[in-house]
């Protein structure tokens, strides 16, 4: 990371964390093991981004389409989410990380309680802002924002209706596991994002892989529609 200066570090990184299930199946393990290893990577990557000067890290953790998965898998995911929010509270505070949630959050009272507590207990932290997209869909976010507005509005007025309006657009979007699509993730916020796709599955996406993504980003020339 020594060759990367502050100007090379994106303000906001978004990650579509893909490949947990395939990672587990390849090894002959239950899918739960893949999701659990994936949760470990969340801790590692959040800590790395916090040290590196990234201001916002948004992770696509559970889409509103994931409700169509088998009930057993959903239950295990909700258990992991609750466990993560509970056990990682100390880690978030030690690293001065603030947690925000983006999405509709149609969860059980138990999950909502864990979410609310961790969001509240980290609300005064001033370092990295970690945004977990839960029960999230990009199209749904735009529809929900539109439903709260009437008539013609400006871009700024529309942005205020998004789930987390104070979080800036994503500079670098990373997707793991070899898939090369955005999968309904923050469609408004990735309009001018630099895209980085890797074959590495999320449970294997460690700090070295993040450094590779940042080095790739540092070589990009961002135009935002302008001729340079």
- Average pLDDT across the chain, whole number: 94
CA distance 140 to 146: 10
Whether residue 225 is contained in a domain is answered as: no
Number of domains the chain is built from: 1
Q: Given 20, 44, 64, 66, which residue is catalytic?
A: 66
Q: Is the pLDDT of residue 168 over 60?
A: yes
The secondary element (H helix, E strand) that includes residue 81 is helix 71-87
C-alpha closest to that of 129 among 183, 78, 170, 81: 170
* Paired strand residues for 131: 58, 100
* Paired strand residues for 60: 16, 133
Measured in whole angstroms, the distance separating CA 90 from the mean position of its chain's CA atoms is 20
Q: Is 66 an active-site residue? A: yes
Strands 98-102 and 12-16, by their bridges, are unpaired
Whether residue 222 is contained in a domain is answered as: no
What is the pLDDT averaged over residues 82-104? Answer: 96
Rounded to a whole number, what is the distance in angstroms from the first to the last CA of the chain?
A: 27
Give the confidence band of 1 by pLDDT, cuts at 50, 70, 90: low
Whether residue 210 is contained in a domain is answered as: yes
E strands present in 111-211: 129-136, 172-175, 194-197
Give the confidence band of 225 by pLDDT, cuts at 50, 70, 90: low
Whether residue 198 is contained in a domain is answered as: yes
Place of tokens 């090894």: 27
Measured in whole angstroms, the distance separating CA 46 from the mean position of its chain's CA atoms is 10
* Paired strand residues for 100: 131
Domain that holds residue 163: 9-214
Whether residue 104 is contained in a domain is answered as: yes
Q: Is 95 an active-site residue? A: no
200 DSSP assignment: S
Whether residue 128 is contained in a domain is answered as: yes
Whether residue 226 is contained in a domain is answered as: no
CB 139 within 8 A of CB 187: yes
Chain segment 131-167, per-residue pLDDT in tens:
999 999 999 999 999 999 888 779 999 999 999 999 9
pLDDT value, residue 226: 63
CATH of the domain at 97: 3.40.1180.10
């Amino acid at each position: 990371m020594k060759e990367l200066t502050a100007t090379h570090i994106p303000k906001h990184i978004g990650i579509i964390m893909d490949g947990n299930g395939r990672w587990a199946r390849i090894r002959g393990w239950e899918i739960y093991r893949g999701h659990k290893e994936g949760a470990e990577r969340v801790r590692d990557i959040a800590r790395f981004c916090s040290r590196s000067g990234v201001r916002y890290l948004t992770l696509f953790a559970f889409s509103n389409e994931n409700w169509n998965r088998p009930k057993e898998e959903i239950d295990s995911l909700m258990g992991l989410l609750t466990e993560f929010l509970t056990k990682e509270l100390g880690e978030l505070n030690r690293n001065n990380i603030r947690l925000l949630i983006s999405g509709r959050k149609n969860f059980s009272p138990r999950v909502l309680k864990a979410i609310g507590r961790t969001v509240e207990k980290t609300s005064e932290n001033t370092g990295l802002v970690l945004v977990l997209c839960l029960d999230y869909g990009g199209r749904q976010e735009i529809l929900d924002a539109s439903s709260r507005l009437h008539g013609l509005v400006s871009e700024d007025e529309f942005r205020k209706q998004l789930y987390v309006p104070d979080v800036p657009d994503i500079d670098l979007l990373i997707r793991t596991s070899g898939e090369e699509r955005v999968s309904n993730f923050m469609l408004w916020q990735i309009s001018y994002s630099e895209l980085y796709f890797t074959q590495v599955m999320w449970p294997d996406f460690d700090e070295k892989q993040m450094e590779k993504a940042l080095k790739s980003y540092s070589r990009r020339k961002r135009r935002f529609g302008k001729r340079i």
